[in-house]
């Protein structure tokens, strides 16, 4: 973990940052694959634009949430040597886990208040 950082320092997370961690936690990905998977997982509600994605990735690398792979996977469909691949660091996983727990508590509170019933999403 980067010195002086506690996972709680990153909460609440911006939705795009949490989604990036979620996507990359499931497997190493390059930027375009992150954009596609984030859109799929969000049902199309989160569309990461390239400029914003790469600014966010740069920040996440600097904060120690992600790391860039030194070696590029060669067994990936559509492999391109120029692509940069990312993986979640152990600290990034701690931050994502803390955010997932924070959001689960918020959803539980909403349900207790009679919100988030079956009338929400299609």
Instruction: Spell out the domain ranges in the chain.
Output: 12-74+81-112
Compare 116 and 23 and report the one with higher pLDDT. 23
pLDDT band at 71 (very low <50, low <70, confident <90, very high): confident
Q: CB of 86 within 8 A of CB of 72?
A: no
Q: Among candidates 20, 43, 18, 15, which has minimal Cα distance to 33?
A: 20
- Among 1.10.10.10, 3.40.50.2300, 3.40.50.10330, 3.90.1150.10, name the CATH number for the domain at 12-74+81-112: 1.10.10.10
Cα(14)–Cα(99) distance, integer angstroms: 10
The side-by-side arrangement of strands in the sheet containing 85-88 is 29-30, 85-88, 66-68
Which pLDDT does position 33 carry in this prediction?
A: 95
Q: What is the pLDDT of residue 76?
A: 54
Mean predicted lDDT score pLDDT of the chain: 89
């Amino acid at each position: 973990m980067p010195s002086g950082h506690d996972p709680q320092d990153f909460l609440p997370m911006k939705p795009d940052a949490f989604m990036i961690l979620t996507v990359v936690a499931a497997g190493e990905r390059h930027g375009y694959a992150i954009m596609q998977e984030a859109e799929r997982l969000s049902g199309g509600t989160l569309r990461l634009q390239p400029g914003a994605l790469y600014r966010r990735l740069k920040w996440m690398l600097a904060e120690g949430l992600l790391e860039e792979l030194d070696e590029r996977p060669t067994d990936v469909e559509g492999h391109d040597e120029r692509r940069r691949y990312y993986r979640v660091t152990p600290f990034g996983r701690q931050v994502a886990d803390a955010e997932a727990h924070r959001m689960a508590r918020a959803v539980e509170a909403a349900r207790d208040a009679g919100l988030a019933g079956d009338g929400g999403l299609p």
